[in-house]
Amino acid sequence: MKTIKDLPAHSRPREKLREKGASALTDEELVSAILGMGTAGMDVRTIARQVAGLIREHKTGLTLNHLLAVPGMGLAKAGQILSAFELARRYLLKETVKIMVAEDVLPLVADIAGKQQEHFVCISLNGANEVIEKRTVTIGLLDQSPVHPREVFADVIADHAAAVIFAHNHPSGELQPSEADRCTHEQLTEAAKILGLRVLDHIIVAKTGYYSYQKTGLIQ
């Protein structure tokens, strides 16, 4: 196999990427473009061919140990591959989540149910009620988390969202909304109306279960 240096300039992965775009590269060429160069006695194309094979075999199950088993792949090069995977997972490979009922929200906020501080979360959705983004807006002390509409809606507007869902946890385990919860909800709902956003639900979660404003008739 020819080394990268033996190839005509226009056939080298990075030059080919520049001229034709990443979609024109083979799996091996994409890996070569990420790695850049090989090691003493091991050309990058040889390394890339084995790494591409592992990616096809293990897909999202690819691990650091898989990569380190390839001759010429040290921690730095393996880290480059896994970091590229993680960035793609975070920003390009998100599964579409559509919210139809309150129970659809629960997996998205399960991480705050047992927190010892109150976390206020805002979920932005498109016109088809598909999740665009979930953000923790504030983290409070014990059982209170002051929330301001500006903090809640700034990113929602940037998302070009059509609707929102609010969620927060009650560290005490009490599921009923407090008077402060009701005031915050009313304030945010009024702000959403002004911005042309629909409020689909407001969920309170705790280890003991959940409470839905929509299911209990507080949101029409």
Q: Any long-range contacts for 46-53 (C-beta under 8 Å, 24+ apart)? A: 46/1, 46/72, 47/71, 47/72, 47/73, 47/77, 51/81, 52/26, 52/27, 52/28
Q: What is the CATH number of the domain that holds 180?
A: 3.40.140.10
Q: Which residues contact 53 (CB under 8 A, 6 or more apart)?
A: none
Q: Is the pLDDT of residue 153 over 60?
A: yes
Q: pTM score, two decimals?
A: 0.61
d(CA 121, CA 176): 17
In this structure, the answer to whether residues 126 and 80 fall within a common structural domain is: no
In this structure, the answer to whether residues 86 and 106 fall within a common structural domain is: no
Q: How many domains does the chain have?
A: 2
Average pLDDT, the chain: 88
Q: Is residue 134 part of a domain?
A: yes
Task: Band the pLDDT of 166: cuts 50, 70, 90.
Answer: very high
Domain finish residue from 32, 65, 90: 90
Domain hosting 79: range is 4-90
Domain finish residue from 90, 112, 142: 90
Residue 187 CB neighbour total at 10 angstroms: 14
In this structure, the answer to whether residues 177 and 141 fall within a common structural domain is: yes
Diameter of the chain measured on Cα atoms = 73
- List pLDDT tens digits, range 108-122: 999 999 999 999 999
In this structure, the answer to whether residues 193 and 108 fall within a common structural domain is: yes
- List pLDDT tens digits, range 169-216: 999 999 999 999 999 999 999 999 999 999 999 999 999 999 999 999
Q: Is the pLDDT of residue 10 over 60?
A: no
d(CA 202, CA 204): 7
Per-residue DSSP letter, 162: S
